[in-house]
Amino acid sequence: MNNPIIFVRIATKADAIYADEIVSETLNAAIIRGSGISKRTPESIIEKMETGKAVIAVTSDGEWVGFSYFEAWEHGDFISNSGLIVKSKFRNSGVARCIKNRIFNLSRRNFPQAKIFSITSGAAIMKMNSQLGFEPVTFDQITKDEDFWAGCSSCINFDILERKNRCNCLCTAMLFSPEHIDHIVTYASFAEKKQHLLETH
């Protein structure tokens, strides 16, 4: 791979052409890792794109590279950052961190007073969360919205979550509170280290 230029930007409805690939790559990554994941449909991915809740990375040639989205819960009191996935051939290039930072800042811009949470079993995402000011918390410190937890029902570990009365599972919950704003890692500082990545507005 000859270090193609990668654009990380807010997704639009025109990006619906990538929805099937995003779903497929997400599922395959979970199978390879042997981890649980809440299954997503192309329709749900497209909805995030059409409503300005998603960030996408594509090359200058139009090849899909990565994706993530946010969702609001409890009338915007909580925001989840979810679905971070990078196409296998672009992993370990730094693009995941770029996407993670962009979706976090997009969440902050739209809901500056909200608590932002992330649930993951991936060490790399935990590290990125920590650098943004997230801290590990128990499940009772994040949203209690039934629709959010219903989304976990398609995960292979859902029975564990239910047996533990949603107190914990194999994933780790991490939470960012607005008072931790000083810990944000800005996209600009990251771009200086990764000049082959471009952010567009």
- What's the rounded Cα separation, in Å, for the pair 91 and 103? 18
Short-list 119, 48, 92, 94, CA closest to 199: 94
- What's the rounded Cα separation, in Å, for the pair 46 and 42? 6
pLDDT of residue 14: 98
Instruction: Show the CA angle centred on residue 79, arms to residues 75 and 83, nearest 5°.
Output: 135
Q: Domain 6-199: state its class.
A: alpha beta
pTM of the model: 0.82
pLDDT of residue 35: 59
Summarize pLDDT for 144-172 with one digit per residue, the tens.
Answer: 999 998 888 777 777 878 887 777 787 89
